[in-house]
Amino acid sequence: MVDYFNGRVLLQPNEIPKEWVNILPDLPSPMTPLINPMDGKPAPPEMALAIFPKECVMQEISQEPTIPIPKDLREIFARSYRPSPLHRALGLEKSLGIEGDDIKIFYKNESYSPTGSHKPNTAITQAYYAKKEGLEELVTETGAGQWGSGLSYGCNLFGLKCTVYMVRISFIQKPGRKILMEAYNAKVHASPSKFTESGKKFLEKDPEHPGSLGIAISEALEHSLKSEKIKYSLGSVVNFVLLHQTIVGQEAKLQLAKVGITKPDIIIGCMGGGSNFSGLMIPFVKDKLHGKLPDLEIIGVEPRACPSVCKGQYRWDFGDTSMKGPIVKMYTLGHSFIPSPIHAGGLRYHGMAPIISILNNNNVISATMHHQTEVIKSGLLFTKAEGILPAPETAHAIKETVDQALKAKENNEKKVILFNFSGHGFFDLLAYKQYMSGELEDYELSSEEIQKALSSREMPNIDESQF
Amino acid sequence: MVDYFNGRVLLQPNEIPKEWVNILPDLPSPMTPLINPMDGKPAPPEMALAIFPKECVMQEISQEPTIPIPKDLREIFARSYRPSPLHRALGLEKSLGIEGDDIKIFYKNESYSPTGSHKPNTAITQAYYAKKEGLEELVTETGAGQWGSGLSYGCNLFGLKCTVYMVRISFIQKPGRKILMEAYNAKVHASPSKFTESGKKFLEKDPEHPGSLGIAISEALEHSLKSEKIKYSLGSVVNFVLLHQTIVGQEAKLQLAKVGITKPDIIIGCMGGGSNFSGLMIPFVKDKLHGKLPDLEIIGVEPRACPSVCKGQYRWDFGDTSMKGPIVKMYTLGHSFIPSPIHAGGLRYHGMAPIISILNNNNVISATMHHQTEVIKSGLLFTKAEGILPAPETAHAIKETVDQALKAKENNEKKVILFNFSGHGFFDLLAYKQYMSGELEDYELSSEEIQKALSSREMPNIDESQF
């Protein structure tokens, strides 16, 4: 049936994209600025430059349609794991009772990186620029540990120090991720820690404090200000991180073209901060905005326990829980919102990338949400059908893909569906165990809870007329 | 320096080998027969046919120099994970202070299979043949779980039932592997279990019996005799398993040739039963035996806690601890020998594949051994240098590679070293944690212990003159 490529499309190292795709100049409404929480005005570049590597700050605001990927960086990708494979999900199609070529499901497999997800695409890049400008260390926070291990790997490649503040509850529950980070030479602290003033405050109240992503961000930010040679690193949300991930969508486009597909119908990705979803869809969105793919549907998938876009407001809010970082315009459930402890730790973020927020607000893309039991059920179906066990985050995209494929089958429609297989679930087997033994719980967020989080007196008011 | 291929050589799906390389007709001394423990005479084919899928039994004794890989089987490999990459270990070379191209280290990366090791190469193949001959189920034993998950994956691909008897101590200590097997639809029983007579005997003595590979083999064998539709599956040692793995070495040969290397100097692999080592080396051994690679050194690496070839005897012995299976001629520490609980569970086997035993006895290959602390130390060095965390088994090959590379550097020799990166260590992080915290222990086997195991009154005496 598909013996022309055996269900998997591989590229050669010289086919790694030579530039990143910048969506900023093409957005249907202008990019919103970062706001300084001190005065409510657009933050000057110096503010970002104090926190992030310089080249990343330039990319954050660049209006160039494409930004070249340095040759030596491309070579590092080629040596380690890129290009990644594109699979036709023939096993999944079969298990859904789909025959023939009317409905085709493809997935871009980002799980074949050394740390098991798409995260190294930006981690290596940030470490590369940090090394180039003479920095000595990058510091970040991590929840479940996927981003922390990505950055540890990236820093280690360039001999940079890496410090990771890991939410204490995950630090205890997921020892594997911590050991992996340490194997890459990183220093991993359970957060709250005794190493920062922000951490100490919480430890004084409760020596066994379970921590939160908000507290870990505060600690990482404070740590980054210790020296000019230390900068802060983010694994999602901001423009330059999404930019670095566009390597994924460009490869997928090339791979689809090699099997004669230039117009996929539906593109799907899970979204927490938005980086893996954006990485896949931005190169296609660009074509859609230029009129080349007018009918393309692009769907971001959230957990029902943390549906920032599906149920939040599009408004100004803090990116971090502790209100230290900049204020951004985005879909948010309120920065004080603490999501339920679902297994998809990477999707437990109260806000959403501004780029995704603008695209959704302009109806270029759409969002949907699912419960974790139905998500893990789809993940298990996928494991049996395709042989690869997805991370709980990734399984959100799979659930939506399954639904879309079955809908198309029911309606006798022809559809090409592409989703991002963002990571494997070897560190998340507990979720599958709980599902198989009937112990997995769902968390539905009530409108009252959302209303309460969004009406907190700490929500910022920004006067947009002034800029 | 190596920009001609960026340090990684990828093949296209159509470059998957079209045949397996059978070493039997080229062995320097004839293949030794399997002996029936009931009468001490060579076992008739019917005995093997009662246990294994028919096609595997035919391959076990085939004298054809090559055996075709069915086209549909090649397509399954192509859809899932083959060909696997060959990496130039530039990071490792650098960290050893090796510059330029005088010493080149390459590794074949078998960790990119869905279950993380080379095991699916034979698991898929055995399941394929089992399905073709109308079987309904395959049953096996597993220690640490790498083979069990491989076979679960393979059986699931073809809709076959899979039952795995997993050594109880591993069943408890490595819940991740069990969940992974269950995600592939396998039934996993802690061994000893209540499902077989052999298991019940041990449970009666001790309801919390920790189990052993020997007991698990007995249970799996007993289970396989329940129905003609159930056969037994092995993940190493026997000829047909080693045959299925030769896909690895053939790909590596092609990949080396693509970067201009036709004569590697040293080939290295870790060996427990011998399958990953054989898979890589057999295609090269064939050339060596035909005079094409006269200077090639081939080194199998064992743990010092279980040095079957390095310290055992080449003699007749039972393959299983419970003396139910056939008697084979091999290097052995005695079938009653229970190795210390090192992390490299896949290398804790008292014997060695007969093919490897013959090659070693004829000085075509050699063997060496290392302690687990120095092994995990090398694994950690590799993780930092190459970004991929090796399984403890694989780290044995890395330790020897490091030693050989440093020796060549010291002697100003030109060497091309190739080793098999047989699997990743995402399920074995405890070994790294213990090493990093200084808690990892070594186990040295004394000559007295070996002498004792080998002089047990249960060791078989076979009169070779009669056949």
Q: From CA A170, how far away is CA A165, in angstroms rounded?
A: 11
* Pick from B185, B387, B389: CB nearest A157: B387
Tokens 């706001």 appear where?
A: A35
Q: Which of A107-121, B46-60, B445-459 has the highest mean pLDDT?
A: A107-121
Mutate which: A1, A3, A5, A6, vs B, most B CBs within 10 A: A6
Asked if pLDDT for residue A206 goes beyond 80, the answer is: yes
Collapsing DSSP to helix, strand or coil, B424 comes out as strand
Element (H, E) at B313: strand B313-318
The residue type found at A109 is: N
* Pick from B384, B426, B433: CB nearest A185: B384
Rounded to the nearest angstrom, the minimum Cα separation between B106 and chain A is 12
CB of A384 within 8 Å of any CB in chain B?
A: yes
pLDDT tens for each residue of A144-201: 899 999 999 999 999 999 999 999 988 887 889 999 999 999 999 999 999 999 899 9
User: Structurally, what CATH architecture does the domain formed by B2-15+72-116+244-462 represent?
Assistant: 3-Layer(aba) Sandwich (3.40)
Q: How confident is the model at residue A1 (pLDDT cuts 50, 70, 90)?
A: very low
Q: State the CB neighbour count (10 A cutoff) for residue A406.
A: 14
pLDDT at A53: 93
pLDDT at A4: 43
pLDDT at B322: 79
pLDDT at B5: 57
Q: How confident is the model at residue B188 (pLDDT cuts 50, 70, 90)?
A: very high
Q: From CA A382, how far away is CA A396, in angstroms rounded?
A: 11
pLDDT tens for each residue of A306-336: 999 999 999 999 988 878 888 999 999 999 8
Strand B266-270 versus strand B297-303 pairing type: parallel
Q: Please enumerate in sequence order all residues whose Cβ is within 8 A of that of A14, keeping only pairs 6 or more positions apart, or say none.
A: A78
Listed by number, the residues of chain A in 96-125 with a beta carbon closer than 8 Å to a beta carbon of chain B are: 112, 114, 116
Contact A460, A317 (CB under 8 A): yes
Collapsing DSSP to helix, strand or coil, B314 comes out as strand
Strand B313-318 versus strand B327-332 pairing type: antiparallel
Contact A35, A112 (CB under 8 A): no
What are B367's strand-pairing partners? B300
Q: Which residue has the higher pLDDT, B334 or A3?
A: B334
CB of B433 within 8 Å of any CB in chain A?
A: yes
Taking contacts as CB-CB distances below 8 angstroms, the residues of chain B near A5 are 13
Listed by number, the residues of chain B in 276-335 with a beta carbon closer than 8 Å to a beta carbon of chain A are: none
pLDDT at B444: 84
Percentage of chain B with pLDDT > 90? 79
Taking contacts as CB-CB distances below 8 angstroms, the residues of chain A near B436 are 179, 182-183
Asked if pLDDT for residue B392 goes beyond 90, the answer is: yes
Strand B366-370 versus strand B297-303 pairing type: parallel
Residues A3-20 have a mean pLDDT of: 83
Backbone angles phi, psi at B194, to 5 degrees: -85, 5
Listed by number, the residues of chain B in 117-176 with a beta carbon closer than 8 Å to a beta carbon of chain A are: 153, 156-157, 175-176
Residues A228-248 have a mean pLDDT of: 97
CB of A73 within 8 Å of any CB in chain B?
A: no
Q: Is the CB of A426 less than 8 angstroms away from the CB of B429?
A: no
Strand B66-68 versus strand B19-21 pairing type: antiparallel
pLDDT tens for each residue of B403-418: 999 999 999 999 999 9
CB of B437 within 8 Å of any CB in chain A?
A: no
pTM, entire model: 0.95
* Pick from A8, A153, A427: CB nearest B387: A153
| Domain chopping of chain B, boundaries | 2-15+72-116+244-462
pLDDT tens for each residue of A26-47: 999 999 999 998 889 999 888 8
Asked if pLDDT for residue B437 goes beyond 80, the answer is: yes
pLDDT at B4: 44
What is the token pair recorded at A118?
């798409």
pLDDT at A419: 98
pLDDT at A323: 85
Asked if pLDDT for residue A3 goes beyond 60, the answer is: no
pLDDT tens for each residue of B51-110: 999 999 999 999 999 999 999 999 999 989 999 999 999 999 999 999 999 999 999 999
Residues A82-101 have a mean pLDDT of: 95
What is the token pair recorded at B219?
């249970």
CB of A443 within 8 Å of any CB in chain B?
A: no
The 3 state secondary structure assigned to chain A is: CCCCCCCEECCCHHHCCCEEECCHHHCCCCCCCCECCCCCCECCHHHHHHHCCHHHHHHHHCCCCEEECCHHHHHHHHHHCCCCCEEECHHHHHHCCCCCCCEEEEEEEHHHCCCCECCHHHHHHHHHHHHHCCCCEEEEEECCCHHHHHHHHHHHHCCCEEEEEEEHHHHHHCHHHHHHHHHCCCEEEEECCCCCHHHHHHHHHCCCCCCCHHHHHHHHHHHHCCCCCEEECCCCCCHHHHHHHHHHHHHHHHHHHHCCCCCCCEEEEECCCCHHHHHHHHHHHHHHHCCCCCCCEEEEEEECCCCHHHHCEEEEEECCCCCCCCEEEEEECCCCCCCCCCCCHHHCCCCCCHHHHHHHHCCCCEEEEECHHHHHHHHHHHHHHHCCCECHHHHHHHHHHHHHHHHHHHCCCCEEEEEEECEECCCCHHHHHHHHCCCCCCCCCCHHHHHHHHCCCCCCCCCHHHC
CB of B260 within 8 Å of any CB in chain A?
A: no
Tokens 């990319």 appear where?
A: A59
- Measured in whole angstroms, the distance separating CA B260 from the mean position of its chain's CA atoms is 29
pLDDT tens for each residue of A339-393: 888 888 889 889 999 999 999 999 999 999 999 999 999 999 999 999 999 999 9
Asked if pLDDT for residue B3 goes beyond 60, the answer is: no
Cα separations in angstroms, B335 against B16, B370, B455, B460: 38, 22, 11, 10
Q: From CA A80, how far away is CA B222, in angstroms rounded?
A: 45
* Pick from A13, A383, A427: CB nearest B6: A13
Element (H, E) at B179: helix B175-183
Q: Which residue has the higher pLDDT, B459 or B438?
A: B438
Widest distance between CA atoms in chain B = 65
- C-alpha torsion sign, points B344, B345, B349, B352: negative
Asked if pLDDT for residue B2 goes beyond 60, the answer is: no
Q: How confident is the model at residue A5 (pLDDT cuts 50, 70, 90)?
A: low
Q: How confident is the model at residue A457 (pLDDT cuts 50, 70, 90)?
A: confident
Backbone angles phi, psi at B287, to 5 degrees: -65, -40
Q: Is the CB of A426 less than 8 angstroms away from the CB of B156?
A: no
CB of B50 within 8 Å of any CB in chain A?
A: no
* Pick from A3, A153, A383: CB nearest B75: A3
pLDDT at A465: 84
Q: State the CB neighbour count (10 A cutoff) for residue A382.
A: 27
Give chain B's mean pLDDT. Answer: 94
Cα separations in angstroms, B309 against B42, B273, B361: 24, 11, 9
The residue type found at A19 is: E
Q: State the CB neighbour count (10 A cutoff) for residue A80.
A: 21
